[in-house]
Structure 1
Amino acid sequence: MAHLTTNPAAKERFLCIYPAYINSKKTLAEGRRIPVEKGVENPSCAEICDVLKAAGLNVDIEIKKMYPREGNRDDQFKGRVRVQLKLEDGRLCQDKFTSRRDLMFYVAETIPKLKTRTQKSGGADAGGQQGEGGKKVKKKKK
């Protein structure tokens, strides 16, 4: 495997990936950079970081940074991920990631497969059904 950079000055050359780039809920004007159908609903920096680390890339998360076009200042929208795409000599770290766009498509494709995403969607569906059932019973009693 190629030598990954730990030099702080070299980290400035890492690519920045903001969650807004792959968020299917955002418009192009709000910062989405991939097609809606390929995007992910409200991705977090932690999810992006986990996916890229699992792919074997050198990743650094910056929690206090925020996407400039982001109007909402909630914690879930904060942060950015820095990724080393190329080595110091200009060679690619991994051949399957030749550009920022390749990286964004990979992340958007992989995040829905995360265990946290599959568990959340299952729990939300069951919770929603129970809540609706409770409301129907109350209406019948009145």
Structure 2
Amino acid sequence: MAAAASAVSPAEKERFICIYPAYLNNKKTIAEGRRIPIDKAVENPTSTEIQDVCAAVGFNVLLEKNKMYPREWNRDVQYRGRVRIQLKQDDGNPCLPQFPTRKSVMLYAAETIPKLKTRTQKMGGSDQSLQQGEGGKKGKGKKKK
């Protein structure tokens, strides 16, 4: 068995590491599948967000939309998908030297996802427009009087 496993090149798609959104989700416990510290985890990441940040840094990425994390009880589309990432080259060396392990990739993705435009626009954009609209009117009125 060991010989058969070593015969498959790390560059083969079957040998890419899998990252499920549950691994990075701060709403999950370790028993439910979170694999990084809760203070570094992200609120409800999606497989496309993981794919975006990993592809942007230069990984060879494959998104499998219809795959589900086995421990995930919620069957919603939001929780579906997994990302396969090529961590090692044919010779066994890391594709990107700054990411030698699976955990380093997960921590990077969790750190980068909140900085995505889709995340910052949803959270910051609506709050800022409300604050500017209300605050601007009140502030100008008070200054004139």
| TM norm structure 1 | 0.81
Aligned residue in 1 for 2:95: 93
Task: Report the counterpart of residue 85 of structure 2 in structure 1.
Answer: 83
**Cα distance change, pair 124–68 in 1 and its aligned pair in 2 (3 A):** farther
Q: Which residue does the alignment assign to 1:23? A: 25
The root-mean-square deviation of aligned C-alpha atoms, in Å, is: 1.9
The residue that corresponds to 1:49 in the other structure is 51
Unaligned residue ranges in structure 2 (runs of 5+): 1-8, 132-145
Q: Which residue of 2 aligns with 1:71?
A: 73
Which consecutive segments of 4 or more residues in structure 1 shift more than 3 A? 123-129
Sequence identity (%): 63
Q: Which residue of 2 aligns with 1:119?
A: 121
Larger Rg over CA atoms: 2
Query: How many pairs were matched up?
Result: 122
Counterpart AA for 2:96: Q
In structure 1, runs of 5+ residues without a counterpart are: 1-6, 130-142
The CA deviation at 1:55 is 0.4
Which residue type is aligned with residue 48 of structure 2?
A
Alpha-carbon distance, 1:83 to partner: 0.1
Return the offset for 1:120.
Answer: 0.6
| Bigger fraction of residues in strand | 1
Instruction: Provide the rounded CA distance (Å) in 1 between the counterparts of 2:72 and 2:46.
Output: 14
